[in-house]
Every structure is written in structure tokens, then in C-alpha cells.
Structure 1
Amino acid sequence: MNLNNEIQVATDKFLAEKLPQLVEEKVSKMVNDVLDDVFRSYSDTAKAIKSKIEEKLDVNLQEFDLVDYNHLVSKAINDNLMQLVNVQPIMDLCQDAIGFVKQKTIKLSDIVEMFKDAAMEDSSDSNGEITVIVEVDEKHGWTEVWLDLDANTKQHNCGIKFIISDSRKKIFSFKSSSYLSNLGNVSPSKMTQLSSIEHKVFRLYSAQVEVVVDELKYDNNWYRDEY
């Protein structure tokens, strides 16, 4: 056997069969790399495209989190809808849900005050209490929070529990009981208030708003100003 001959035959066969494929793959990768660079978020081209999309949608995409796709859909039908019905009452009802997470930071004390306001709305009394339990877990690096519209509620019966990362200062776990373990003692009004406050806290979670744990002990009393 002539070794040189065999090497030449094998080389010719490889060049004929494999070289075009290899060249195509390399060129394809090179083009993909170029496109990746062009469309990277910090490139001028990507920014220009994003700006054009925002201009057509008449909306700043940065203001939307993972549950705001409904708002994008609503904007698409808004013009036709406005011609058919008066949507102002609907918009008023949804204002808290849509605009609530425009803020990028909130203090835990502000969330506690939201619960007090919700409890006050549910009650005709001049004053009352909610349940606020805050525990710092230094071992795991997080802060656990339990909140309920009623006073002296056990942790496992609280309407809402969420966990804030000490390093990221954002909610990474959210649980809501909706009083299911004690449904017989819940009025429709209380369920409505709880549902509203649950949605607000969930929005803080879904939008990854920074939550500052400004205190560990909170005053759980609420009072009506008019009394």
C-alpha cells in the first residue's frame, strides 16, 4: 500500500465532503456573533430598536414586571373600548394594581401601615390591632414577616407571610393563606380587604421592589383620625 497515496485520497475526500459544512458552520457562528454584539442591550442599535418599539407601543417597557402583560394587552384594545363603554370606573378600581409598583423601594413599616389601613376599612371601631411578627434568621440571611388583619393571630394562621433576603433586600418567598383555615369567622368585607392587600404585597414580590427592614418591632395599633 502506498501511504502517501492513501493520505492524499483521504485528504481529497475530507475536503470534498466535510470542508463545505465546516466553512458554513464557521461563517454561521461568525454571523451569529456579530448579530449578538449588535443586539446586545447596551449597543446603540439595540437601544434604537427598543426606543422605536416603545414609541409604537406608547409605553416604557422598563415599567413592566412579569404580571403586567395584561396591561399591554389592554392598551392594544383601549382605543376601541373607549368608544363603546365608559371605562373610567374600571380604571379607578385598577389604579392601585397597575400603578402600585412604580416605586422601586418601600419600607417594611409602610407595608405594616397598609395592613392597618386595610384593617380599619374592614372595621367600624374607633381603634384596633393587627398582627405583625418579624423574625430575623441570621443563619440563612433572611427576615421572615407574618401579617394579619386581626390581632394576636398565630403565625400559621396569618393571612400573609413573606421572606426578605437580607443581602438583596427583596422578597423571594410569598405565601397567602386567605384565612382558609378559619373561613367560618371571616366576613365578605374582610375577605375583600385581605384580597386587596395580598395583591399589593404580591406585586412588590413580582416586581422585585426593594424592601427595607427599617424596624424589627412595629406598633400594631391603628386609630381613626376622626375619633
Structure 2
Amino acid sequence: MTQQTLEALLCERVSAYAASDRPRELIDAGIDNMFKAVVDDTFRSYGDFSKAIKEAVKSALPANVSDMFELTRYNAIVAEALRQRWEQAAVQSLILKSADQAISEVLTGEGLITGEVSLKALLEAFVEANKDEARKEGWERPEIRFEEDTRYSSTHLSIFFDPEPESSYRTSGYSSRDQRNDYGLKHRICVRLTGEERPAASQWESATRIGEVYSACLDDKKIDLKMAVRTSWERMLASLYFGNAVLLVDCELDDFSYGLDD
């Protein structure tokens, strides 16, 4: 009798349990846990999805990542490559929007992604960066030289510049020195003029010529990816050499001085 009562009771409770929402809750919880485990496993550092993202980012970056924040061309390449890869991977729009905003904040700024650089602004920044030394040494103006060459199919302009004026260089030391040739100056920019000009703002000014930088040296060393780029004028020069910026030749040799007599 007792056995029949227990059997009947078990049957009743099993039937009641099966008819309740509890099995559905447990099944839902189990499915939740299963999917959570799958997602956690997928996004772990050793998961296939994480590895794929790492490889995509790695292949989008230039060889020397430390220089990307100074050099325009690589900034643009990295930003565009990351955006394309994330779009192709159908990354959720909210994540893509946040990532795009982060890219824009990091890869824009002074001396970075710009379309053109004024030679006058570059040399003014160069003068400003050397004013303290000029004041200490009593220099009136930097040594700046323009050398134009029309022997080839296009016109080439070489800009040589050094913080120390030639007069000071030749009289410094225990004996007078020979005059420095153009390549004896610390810095130079080699420009291929495109032939395009912008009209002058007034009759007393010259038209602005447009050029493309194909060679540049800092401290008589050719710019490369491993070179430290620190000052404003160095960043502008780097964006010309490595980036897509054009040079606006918008100044004359006599436009620049340290202003010590002002």
C-alpha cells in the first residue's frame, strides 16, 4: 500500500513538475550558460576570433608602429586599413563608431594629417625653435638659401637652412673658416615644382608656387622612420616627406630673422 502511495506520489509530482515553468527556466538557464561559455571562449586571447582580429590589426599597421603618430602617410594608411577591415568583418555599428572616433582622435593633430604645408610657416617655426640659442650667441638671422635648377624636364628647388648665420660660422673658432657650401648647412628640403601657382594677395607679393618634396634631411641626415621628430617644424617636414602634403613656396629669403633688435 505504501509502495503504491509513493509511486502515485512520485508520478503526481513528476507530472506536476513537467507541467510547470521550472523545466523551461532550467533549460533557458542552461542555454544561457552554454552561449556565455561559447562567447567567452571565442573572445579569449587564445580564441580563433581574437587571433583573427590580432592578425587583421597587425597586417594593417606599418613596420615601425612607433612612428605612425608623426608621419602623415602611415597615419592615413593605418586609419583607412583598420576601418576597411572592421567594415568587412561586419563589426557591430556601435563598436565601429566608437573605434572610428578613437582613430580620429589619435591620428589627427598638429603637424599630422594635413593637405598642404606653408614653407613660410615651416621656416617661422624653425626660427622660433632656435631663438633661445640665437639670443645666447647673438645671431641676427638664420642662414637660408634657395637654389633653383631648371636643367631637367621640371623645375627643382632646393632649400638649405641652418640656425647659425654664415657670418657667425666663419668667424667662430680660433681662425676664420672657409664659407660653407649649400650642403654644409644642417637641413635641406628638395622640391619638385609642379608648375601650378596661386595668385599673390597683393601687388607687392609674389605668387605662391606649389611643390612636392622628394628628399629631406635633418641635421644632414636623410629623414627615415627611425628618426625622432620632435619640434613643430620637424613634424611639418615629416608630413611633407612621408605624407601626401604639398609645399606652398610662399616666402622670400629675407622674410626671416631672430628679431633680436626688435
- The TM-score by the shorter chain falls in which range? 0.3 to 0.5
Which has the larger share of helix? Answer: 1
Larger Rg: 2
**TM-score, normalised via structure 2 length:** 0.42
**TM-score, normalised via structure 1 length:** 0.47
